[in-house]
Amino acid sequence: MKPFASQLRIVVLALGLAACLFAPGGKATAQGNNPQILPPQAKFHGLSYADWEVKWNQEAMAIPAGPDNPFNAGGIFGADRGIRFLTGATGGGTVDVTVPAGTALFFPLITVECSSLEAPPFYGGTEAEQRACVESFKPGFTDLFATIDGRAVQNPGAYWTETPQYAFSVPADNNLGVPGPATGRSVSAGYFLLLAPLSVGTQVIHFGGTYAPFDYSIDVTYVVTVTPR
């Protein structure tokens, strides 16, 4: 299975921890046993989980392939106000990232996308075909786990979301492995978590999971340093 398939189409990223539901007036409400995780039906900065998932995929697919691509070595990307995106890392290992205080984190435990540009099994010519394609992968996602500073995330299966169809662009040298530059349309789905800003200091996020039909697994540790503003 080529790196992109393991890192973007099938990104196994589990993580533990944090995001809260910001209610009117700045108050927060808990999500079951995961009080810092934004509930799946909630919005952050006016955008739903599916909206952020679209942004995650659009920005990920626009990054040129190469050694600095975060899907090769793990890392952080995105430029939206108050939020950053995380990826997995080919081969696992430990990834160090630094964010300023007040930064939320958004990333998938596991995700898949199907588009009009790719070959089977990731091809879909219409929105209906793309949606059926991503949903066909769901039964193969297993053995997800995530901890933050040793605290396990509970019931990650509650965080499955699907996007509407969206347009995306890839550069000439891209992780999809398709002729570029090009523009296509895609639907993606997966188990995403949106975490509230972490405390100043260092937190350790350990995550992983398996896509059984491809015999693909990931086991990655993020060391997140949060600096004062």
Map tokens 């500073």 to a residue. Answer: 149
Strands 104-115 and 83-86, sheet pairing? parallel
Burial of 33 (0-12, 13-18, 19+ CB in 10 A): exposed
89 three-class SS: coil
pTM for the complete prediction?
Answer: 0.85
Q: What is the pLDDT along the chain (229 residues), one digit of tens a residue?
A: 433 443 455 443 333 232 222 333 333 333 456 657 889 999 999 999 999 999 999 999 999 998 878 887 778 999 898 999 988 765 668 899 999 999 999 988 888 999 999 999 999 999 999 999 999 999 999 888 878 778 888 888 888 999 999 999 999 999 999 999 999 999 999 989 898 888 899 988 887 778 889 887 777 788 999 999 8
Under DSSP, the state recorded for 167 is E
In this prediction, residue 26 carries a pLDDT of 33
Encoded tokens for 18: 């944090």
> Burial letters for 99-122: b for 16+ Cβ neighbours within 10 Å, e otherwise?
beeebbbbbbbbbbbbbbbbeeeb
Encoded tokens for 183: 């523009």
Among 6, 3, 5, 217, CA closest to 122: 5
Report the 10 Å Cβ neighbour count for 181.
Answer: 11
Q: Using CA atoms, how far apart are residues 140 and 25, in angstroms rounded to an integer? A: 41
Among 83, 98, 88, CA closest to 195: 83
Total of domains in the chain: 1
Q: Supply the range of the domain harboring residue 198.
A: 3-227
- Which residues pair with residue 115 across a beta bridge? 123, 186
Whether residue 120 has a cis bond before it, omega within 30° of 0: no
